[in-house]
């Protein structure tokens, strides 16, 4: 093998280390195992990361794309080291974060819902995974050191829903007449007993509240995500974004107040509530499945609109399913989310779109919000970009978590689809809802920076908010509520994942700003529509790259305006 091929092999070994990652990526490896909390497992992973770094040093005389691939693989290995060695107040961060519920459920759910093999094979894997639950829980409890109190509650919320997942497994096994049902039932019973004991052990542990990374660690993490901006630059972009968004919202508020003859002093919250009520989705007899059906119809309508204008190239073999968020995943998905295609699996590239539904959350799903959600999560948003990337010739570009590219692409398209008339006569109404929703991007950056560093000034982005509480979740919740008007349930769900995924929440706004900059600098000789098509094609062809590297690639291809 060439040095470049050896690097790819080392990188694949590193990303396939976790059994759940194997399921997510579509690899036929470790399907009957759960992740291990044992120290030896961590040491093996770090050794694989070292192998990637060593192999990267041997790669010379490469073309431009290969050089970018080497950089990506090196970043991935360095991030593995960083996250698994990150310490705060004398304890490792991963020892303060209990995620056993997620580690149990994540891979099992994908084996149930997305794996194309026969039910017998998948149930065999699930049965063996369930047999490993007691050891996983015992090992996790042994590793925990003053876990963060909020994260303990999230863990409890996730674990509370596992019995419903296990019941679904039993029902499925009965339906397909699974050959080893007694052993499956035994393993489920043992898993439930172990979960009960684990929860008691969790509650007996002393907890902490400070989950910050610290200023320097925050800077390092941002750089390892491939973002070439300082925290100060990110904060300033956020303040500028807020000023522009508030100005746009005020113009739209005035337009809608006049159109619907509302009282002149109706504020943005009042207009938002009015539109939610006026454009509420019909839910006959409280049948929430009707909301799923409405999303499915909208996805078809968007597809027809795009195809008629030939706006985007679609991969040859892809599909998208829309479903209600499983109960065990709901604590971390406040409104909707997308599980991307298995990037390394053969066959159809299928995404799963999850929608978190309840009577309390119906205001998150309206005739104005549903189109924006489907643009974001489906086509032309996440599904199209990630399904296209999963067919890239480069291994690392199929799997690298370039979140600011993914989120920048899809949030840019929320505006773009309205700009080209998708919502017709309801463009102002949809744009108002979309701008209110996209306001979350500024709050996410502010809260992400605040949660990572502990520095309260990052919450100052142009909104009058009291941030004097000693509880960071109270301060962050106040800002998010003022910025977005989200329901209390969604606010708390958003804060849950902000706190556990440092560096991810900021990727939305960072990506949005950089994507619009990239589009403004894009060079094409044709008309506006031809230029849009060419821009979409170039970005999608990059695969999963950080935005800085997307810009470098387009510049290398002569597609960007020269800097002044």
Banded model confidence at residue 439, pLDDT cuts 50, 70, 90: confident
- Kind of pairing, strands 318-324 and 87-88? unpaired
Q: How far apart are CA 502 and CA 221, in angstroms?
A: 8
Burial environment of residue 330 by CB neighbours within 10 A (0 to 12, 13 to 18, 19 or more): buried
Q: How far apart are CA 374 and CA 338, in angstroms?
A: 10
> In this structure, what are the phi and psi dihedrals at residue 470, rounded to the nearest 5 degrees?
-80, -15
Ramachandran region, residue 331 (left: φ > 0; alpha: ψ -120 to 50; beta: rest): alpha
Q: How far apart are CA 146 and CA 115, in angstroms?
A: 37
Q: Which contacts of 168-175 are long-range, i.e. CB under 8 A and separated by 24 or more positions? A: 168/112, 169/108, 169/112, 169/123, 169/126, 169/130, 172/112, 172/119, 172/123, 173/123
Banded model confidence at residue 562, pLDDT cuts 50, 70, 90: confident
Beta-strand (E) ranges in 333-385? 336-339, 349-355
- Residue 110: closest CA among 321, 332, 343, 352: 352
Banded model confidence at residue 396, pLDDT cuts 50, 70, 90: very high
Q: What is the CA radius of gyration of the chain?
A: 24
Q: Is the pLDDT of residue 401 over 70?
A: yes
Average pLDDT over residues 14-37: 96
Would you list the domain boundaries of the chain?
Answer: 3-204
Work out the percent of the chain whose per-residue pLDDT is above 70: 96
Burial environment of residue 210 by CB neighbours within 10 A (0 to 12, 13 to 18, 19 or more): exposed
What pLDDT shows up at residue 361? 57
336-395: pLDDT as tens digits: 677 889 999 988 999 988 887 765 556 567 899 889 989 999 999 999 999 999 999 999
Q: How far apart are CA 562 and CA 454, in angstroms?
A: 39
- Mean pLDDT for the chain? 92
Residues 6+ apart with CB under 8 A from 147: 95, 96, 97, 98, 202, 205, 207, 208
What pLDDT shows up at residue 283? 80
- Helix 181-204 vs helix 119-131: crossing angle, to nearest 10: 40
Q: How many residues in total does the chain contain?
A: 564
CA torsion sign for 456, 462, 468, 471 is: negative
Q: How far apart are CA 490 and CA 543, in angstroms?
A: 31
Beta carbons of 114 and 342 less than 8 angstroms apart: yes
Q: How far apart are the first and last CA of the chain?
A: 44
- Residue 106: closest CA among 18, 13, 194, 197: 18
In b/e form, how buried is each residue of 29-66, taking b as 16+ CB within 10 angstroms? ebbebbbbbeeeebeebbebbebbbebbeebeeeeebe
Banded model confidence at residue 333, pLDDT cuts 50, 70, 90: low
Beta carbons of 165 and 102 less than 8 angstroms apart: no
The total of other beta-carbon atoms located within 10 Å of residue 278's CB is 12
What pLDDT shows up at residue 352? 87
- Distance, CA of 179 to chain centre: 37
The total of other beta-carbon atoms located within 10 Å of residue 277's CB is 10
Average pLDDT over residues 157-167: 92
Instruction: Report how far apart, in Å, the C-alpha atoms of 348 and of each of 87, 337, 390, 391, 400 are.
Output: 41, 20, 10, 10, 20
32-91: pLDDT as tens digits: 999 999 999 999 999 999 999 999 999 999 999 999 999 999 999 999 999 999 987 788
255-307: pLDDT as tens digits: 999 999 999 999 998 999 999 989 988 887 777 788 888 999 999 999 999 99
């Amino acid at each position: 093998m060439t040095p470049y091929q050896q690097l790819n092999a080392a990188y694949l070994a590193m990303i396939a280390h976790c059994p759940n990652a194997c399921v997510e990526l579509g690899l036929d490896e470790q399907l009957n195992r759960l992740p291990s909390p044992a120290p030896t497992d961590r040491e093996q992973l770090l050794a694989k990361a070292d192998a990637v770094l060593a192999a990267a040093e041997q790669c010379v005389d490469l073309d431009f794309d290969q050089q970018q691939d080497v950089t990506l693989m090196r970043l991935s290995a360095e991030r593995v080291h960083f996250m698994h060695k990150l310490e705060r107040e004398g304890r490792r961060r991963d020892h303060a974060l209990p995620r056993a519920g997620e580690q149990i459920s994540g891979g099992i759910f994908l084996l149930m819902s997305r794996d194309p093999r026969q039910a017998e094979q998948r149930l065999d894997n699930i049965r063996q995974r369930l047999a490993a639950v007691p050891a996983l829980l015992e090992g996790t409890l042994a590793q925990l050191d003053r876990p963060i109190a909020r994260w303990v509650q999230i863990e409890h919320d996730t674990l509370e829903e596992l019995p419903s997942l296990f019941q679904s497994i039993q029902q499925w096994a009965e339906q397909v007449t699974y050959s080893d049902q007694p052993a499956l039932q035994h393993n489920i019973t043992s898993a439930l007993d172990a979960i009960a004991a684990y929860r008691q052990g969790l509650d007996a542990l002393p907890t902490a509240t400070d989950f910050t990374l610290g200023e320097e660690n925050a800077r390092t993490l941002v750089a390892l995500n491939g973002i070439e901006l300082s925290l100060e630059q990110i904060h300033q972009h956020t303040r500028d974004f807020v000023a522009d968004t508030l100005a746009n919202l005020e113009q739209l508020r005035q337009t809608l107040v006049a159109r619907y003859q509302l009282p002149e002093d109706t504020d943005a919250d009042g207009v938002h509530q009015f539109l939610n009520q006026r454009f509420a989705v019909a839910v006959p007899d409280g049948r929430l499945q009707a909301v799923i059906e409405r999303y499915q119809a909208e996805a078809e309508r968007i597809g027809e609109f795009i195809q008629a204008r030939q706006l985007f190239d679609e991969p040859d073999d892809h599909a998208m399913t829309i479903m209600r968020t499983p109960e065990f995943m709901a604590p971390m998905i406040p409104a909707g989310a997308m599980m991307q295609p298995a990037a390394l699996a053969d066959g159809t590239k299928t995404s799963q779109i999850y929608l978190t539904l309840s009577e309390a959350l119906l205001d998150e799903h309206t005739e104005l919000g549903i189109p924006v959600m489907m643009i974001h999560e489906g086509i032309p948003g996440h599904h199209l970009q990630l399904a296209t990337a999963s067919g890239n010739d480069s291994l690392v570009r199929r799997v690298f978590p370039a979140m600011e590219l993914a989120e920048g692409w899809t949030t840019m398209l929320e505006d773009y689809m309205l700009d080209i008339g998708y919502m017709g006569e309801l463009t102002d109404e949809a744009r108002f809802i979309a701008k209110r929703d996209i306001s979350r991007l500024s709050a996410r950056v502010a809260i992400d920076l605040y949660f990572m560093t502990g520095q309260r000034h990052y919450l100052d982005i142009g909104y009058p908010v009291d941030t004097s509480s000693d509880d960071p979740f109270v301060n962050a919740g106040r800002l998010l509520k003022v910025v977005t008007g989200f329901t209390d349930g969604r606010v708390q769900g958003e804060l849950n994942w902000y706190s556990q995924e440092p560096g991810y929440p900021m990727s939305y706004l960072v990506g949005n700003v950089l994507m619009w900059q990239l589009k403004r600098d894009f060079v094409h000789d044709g008309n506006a529509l031809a230029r849009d098509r060419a821009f979409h094609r170039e970005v999608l062809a990059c695969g999963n790259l950080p935005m800085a590297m997307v810009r470098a690639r387009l510049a290398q291809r002569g597609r960007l305006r020269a800097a002044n």
